Amino acid sequence: MTRDFAGPADPDYGREGIYLRRPKSQAVSRRRPGSWLRRWARRSLLAAVWAALWLGLIAVASWYVRSSAYFSLSGAYAVIVTGNHFVSQADIANATGAGAEPNLFRLSLDDVRRQVESIPWVQSASLRRLLPNRLQVHVTERKPVAYVNIAGNLRVVDDEGVILDKPPAATFDFPVLSGIDSAMSAVDRKARLALFERFAQELNSQVNGAGWLVSEVDLSDEGDLKALLVQGHKTILIHFGNRDFGERFATFLALLPQIERTSPAIDSVDLRYRGQVVVDPKSPIDAGQRPKEGGR
C-alpha cells in the first residue's frame, strides 16, 4: 500500500490554502461635518413653530372666553346663592358685582369673596364658576345667640360678639343681654359672650324643665353673671358668679320652697357663696304692699 505525499514537485506545495477568510470590513463614517448642528436647528425650529401655534390657540381661546357673550353673567339667575337664611339673594348678588363685570372669567373670585364677606351677617363665603354663565356662592351666616340693647335699639349678637341688625322677618327666643355694647373691643365682647354661652349650655335643660324662663342676663361684671328669671308672676334676680351655673341653679331650685316660706316676696338671690344662699327680699312697695301709715 502506497501513500502519496506532497513534495517540492507538487505545484501547491508551500502555498496557503486556496480559500482564505475575508478580512472584516471597517465602518466608515459618512457624516459630513456640522450635520448634527443642522438636525438640531431643524428640530428646534419645528418645536418653536408648534409652541407658537399652541400659544396662539391659547391666546385666541382666552380672548374668546373673556369677550364672548356666551359667558356673560346676565339675568336673574346668573348668581346661585346657597346657605343663606337672613341675607337676601339680591344683597349677595349685588356684592358679587356681577352687573358691573358681566363676564364670568373676568371676575376675581378672591375679590368677590371679600365683598360678600363684608356683608355683616355673612361669616364666610366660598365661590366657584359654573359653565357657561353661572356663579355659585355658598355663604355661612353668623349664628345669633341673644338680643342686646344698644342705645335703646334691640339688636342681636352672635357667638363671636359681633352686633348685628335684627332681620325684619326673623324671630328669636333669646334673652336680652346687658353689659355689652359697640364701644367695647371685639376681644372683650367675645369673652363676655363665652361666659354667657357657658351659662346657657349649663342651664338650658334645667330652666325649661323647672318652668322658668331666662328673661335678661347682665354681663357687666365678669365675676358675677346676673340673670333675671321669670315664672308666671314671679321675677327673681339671681347672682350666679362666673362658674358652676348648673350646680348653683340646682341649689336654688332645692332651697326655693324654704326661701319662699320665710320670704314670700323675693327680690334677688345670691348663689355665689358655697354652702349658703343670700336672699334679698323685696321692699313692701316693690312687693305691691302699701306701707302702713304711722300712728294708725
Contact 217, 146 (CB under 8 A): yes
pLDDT in tens, 148-167: 988 888 999 998 999 999 99
Rg of the chain, C-alpha, whole Å: 46
What does the alpha-carbon distance between residue 3 and residue 6 come to, in Å, rounded to a whole number? Answer: 10
Same-domain pairing of 104 and 204: no
Q: Mark which of 96, 115, 141 sits at the end of a domain.
A: 141
What total number of domains does the chain contain? Answer: 2
Same-domain pairing of 106 and 190: no
Task: With respect to residue 224, please indicate whether it lies within any of the assigned structural domains.
Answer: yes
Task: Show the CA angle centred on residue 66, arms to residues 62 and 72, nearest 5°.
Answer: 145
Q: Which of 18-22, 150-154, 236-240 has the lowest mean pLDDT?
A: 18-22
Task: Show the CA angle centred on residue 231, arms to residues 225 and 236, nearest 5°.
Answer: 40
- pLDDT over 70 percentage in the chain: 78
Q: Mark which of 141, 165, 199 sits at the end of a domain.
A: 141
Mean pLDDT of the chain: 82
Residues 6 or more apart in contact with residue 170 via CB below 8 angstroms: 86
Same-domain pairing of 86 and 127: yes
Neighbouring C-alpha atoms within 13 Å toward the C-beta of 94? 7
Backbone angles phi, psi at 223, to 5 degrees: -90, -5
Residue scoring higher pLDDT (55 or 201): 201
pLDDT, residue 15, reads 55
Task: With respect to residue 133, please indicate whether it lies within any of the assigned structural domains.
Answer: yes
Following DSSP, what letter does each residue of the chain receive, concatenated? -------TTSTTTTPPPSS-PPPPPPP---PPTTHHHHHHHHHHHHHHHHHHHHHHHHHHHHHHHHH-GGGB--STTSEEEES-SSS-HHHHHHHHTTTTS-BTTTS-HHHHHHHHHTSTTEEEEEEEEETTTEEEEEEEE--EEEEEEETTEEEEEETT--EEPPPTT-----PEEES--TTS-HHHHHHHHHHHHHHHHHHHHHHHHHT-EEEEEE-SSTT-EEEEEEETTEEEEEEEETS-HHHHHHHHHHHHHHHHHH-SSEEEEE--STT--EEEEPPTTTTTPPPPPTT-
Q: What is the CATH number of the domain that holds 174?
A: 3.40.50.11690
* Average pLDDT over every residue of 84-106: 83
- The answer on pLDDT for 18 being more than 80 is no
Backbone angles phi, psi at 248, to 5 degrees: -70, -35
- The answer on pLDDT for 291 being more than 50 is no
Same-domain pairing of 126 and 169: no
pTM for the predicted model, two decimal places: 0.70
Contact 182, 150 (CB under 8 A): yes
- The answer on pLDDT for 233 being more than 80 is yes
How do strand 79-82 and strand 134-141 relate by DSSP bridges? parallel
Q: Which of 93-102, 169-178, 273-282 shows the highest mean pLDDT?
A: 169-178
C-alpha cell at 118: 363684608
pLDDT in tens, 201-214: 999 888 878 899 99
pLDDT, residue 85, reads 94
Task: With respect to residue 258, please indicate whether it lies within any of the assigned structural domains.
Answer: yes
Task: Show the CA angle centred on residue 45, arms to residues 36 and 35, nearest 5°.
Answer: 15
Same-domain pairing of 84 and 213: no
pLDDT band at 289 (very low <50, low <70, confident <90, very high): very low
Q: Is the peptide bond preceding residue 132 cis, with omega within 30 degrees of 0? A: yes
Domain membership of residue 113 as a residue range: 71-141
Q: Which of 73-87, 113-127, 239-253 has the lowest mean pLDDT?
A: 73-87
Q: Mark which of 120, 141, 162 sits at the end of a domain.
A: 141
Task: With respect to residue 231, please indicate whether it lies within any of the assigned structural domains.
Answer: yes
Q: What is the CATH number of the domain that holds 136?
A: 3.10.20.310
Same-domain pairing of 135 and 150: no
Same-domain pairing of 171 and 265: yes
Residue-wise burial string across 2-18, b where 16 or more C-beta atoms lie within 10 A, e elsewhere: eeeeeeeeeeeeeeeee
pLDDT band at 52 (very low <50, low <70, confident <90, very high): confident
- The answer on pLDDT for 27 being more than 50 is yes
